[in-house]
Chains A and B, each alone.
Chain A
Amino acid sequence: MKNIKERIWLTYTAMTCLLLFVAFFQSWNVALSILNLCIISAIMSLGINIQWGNSGIVNFGAMGFTALGGLCAVIISMPLTKGAWEIGGFKIILAIIIFLIFIFLANRTWKFYKNSPKKKICFGLLIFLIGFLILRIIADPVIHAIESYEPAKTGYLGGMNLPVIISWPIAGCLAALIALLIGKIALGLRSDYLAIATLGISEIIIYFIKNEDWLSRGVKNVNGLPRPVPYEIELQNSAWLINLSEKFDFSLVVMSSITVKLSYSILFLLVLIIIFIFLETISKSPWGRMMRAIRDNEVSAGAMGKDVKKRHLQVFIIGSAIVGIAGAMMTTLDGQFTPASYQPIRYTFLIWIMVIVGGSGNNYGAVLGGFIVWFLWVESEPLGLWLIELLTSYLEDSSELKNRLLDSAAHMRLIMMGLILLITLRFAPKGIIEEQKRI
Chain B
Amino acid sequence: MDYINAIILFSNYILIPGLSYGCQLALGALGVTLIYTVMRFSNFAHGELMSFGAMISILIMWCLKDIGVSIKPLPTIIISLPISIIITVIFCLLIDKLCFSYYRKNNSQSVILLIVSIGVMFFTNGLIRLIIGPNDRNINDGERFLVKAKTIKKVFELNEGLSIKMSQGITIVITLLLVTFIFWFLNKTKTGKSMRAYSDNKDLSLLSGINPERVILITWIITGMLACVAGTLYGLDKSYKPFTYLNLVLPIFASAIVGGVGNPIGAIIGGFVIAYSEIIVTFAYRKFLSYLLPDNFLSDGLMQILSTDYKIAVSFLILVIVLIIKPTGIYKGKLI
Contact = CB atoms under 8 A, between A and B. Distances in A.
A407 B323 CA distance: 43
Interface in B82-122: 99, 102-103, 109-112, 114-116, 118-122
Quick one: which of B111, B116, B122 has the most chain A CB within 10 A?
B122
Interface stretch (A6-14, A72-80, A96-104, A204-212): A204-212
A196 B310 contact: no
A210 B309 contact: yes
A279 interface: no
Quick one: which of A210, A413, A422, A426 has the most chain B CB within 10 A?
A422
A186 B116 contact: no
B317 interface: yes
B129 interface: yes
Contacts of A309: none
A186 B323 contact: yes
Nearest to B317: A204
A325 interface: no
B122 A417 contact: yes
Given A201-B316, A344-B246, A418 B102 contact: no
A186 B310 CA distance: 22
A16 interface: no
A419 interface: yes
Contacts of B1: none
B323 A345 contact: no
B185 interface: no
A20 to B, nearest CB: 29
Contacts of B99: 422
A396 to B, nearest CB: 21
Contacts of B324: 185-186
B123 A191 contact: no
A378 B125 CA distance: 18
Given A211-B309, A422-B99, A415 B250 contact: no
Interface in B150-196: none
Contacts of B123: 414-415, 418-419, 422
A408 interface: yes
Contacts of B246: 344-345
Contact of A425 (B41, B112, B124, B130): B112
A330 interface: no
Interface residues of B, number: 47
Contact of B42 (A185, A195, A210, A345): A195
Quick one: which of B103, B312, B316, B324 has the most chain A CB within 10 A?
B316
B134 A411 contact: yes
B292 interface: no
B116 A192 contact: no
Interface in A178-196: 185-186, 189-193, 195-196
Contacts of B122: 345, 349, 353, 414-415, 417-418, 421
Contacts of A211: 307, 309-310
B215 to A, nearest CB: 21
Contacts of B327: 189, 193
A414 B118 CA distance: 11
B4 interface: no
A412 B125 CA distance: 10
Contact of A422 (B119, B253, B312): B119
A72 to B, nearest CB: 21
Given A204-B317, A204-B320, A422-B120, A411 B129 contact: yes
Given A185-B324, A352-B118, A192 B42 contact: yes
Interface in B212-250: 246, 250
B77 interface: no
A139 interface: no
A174 to B, nearest CB: 20
Contacts of A416: 126
Contacts of A415: 122-123, 126-127, 130
A192 B110 contact: yes
B23 to A, nearest CB: 22
A197 interface: yes
B218 to A, nearest CB: 23
Contacts of B126: 411-418
A341 to B, nearest CB: 13
Contacts of B309: 207, 210-211
B73 interface: no
Interface in A348-381: 349, 352-353, 356
B313 interface: yes
Contacts of A204: 313, 316-317, 320
A435 interface: no
B313 A203 contact: yes
B336 interface: yes
B250 A200 contact: yes
A199 interface: yes
B319 interface: yes
Interface in B117-145: 118-127, 129-131, 133-134
A419 B99 CA distance: 10
A429 B113 CA distance: 12
A58 interface: yes
Interface string A394-427: 0000000000000110011111111101100110
B207 interface: no
A177 interface: no
B293 interface: no
A417 B307 CA distance: 36
Nearest to B120: A418
A199 B130 CA distance: 27
Nearest to B310: A207
B320 A200 contact: yes
A191 B316 CA distance: 18
A345 B336 CA distance: 23
A121 interface: yes
B253 A58 contact: no
8 contacts: A186-B323, A189-B323, A192-B42, A196-B323, A411-B129, A412-B126, A422-B99, A425-B115
Given A193-B327, A407-B133, A425-B115, 17 more contacts: A191-B110, A193-B257, A193-B323, A196-B257, A199-B250, A203-B250, A211-B307, A345-B246, A349-B122, A356-B115, A408-B130, A415-B127, A418-B119, A418-B125, A422-B116, A425-B112, A425-B116
Interface of B: 41-42, 99, 102-103, 109-112, 114-116, 118-127, 129-131, 133-134, 246, 250, 253-254, 257, 307, 309-310, 312-313, 316-317, 319-320, 323-325, 327, 335-336
Interface of A: 58, 121, 185-186, 189-193, 195-197, 199-201, 203-204, 207-208, 210-211, 344-345, 349, 352-353, 356, 407-408, 411-419, 421-422, 425-426, 429
The 8 A-B residue pairs with the shortest CB-CB distance, nearest first, are A418-B123, A414-B126, A418-B122, A415-B126, A421-B119, A411-B129, A200-B316, A207-B313
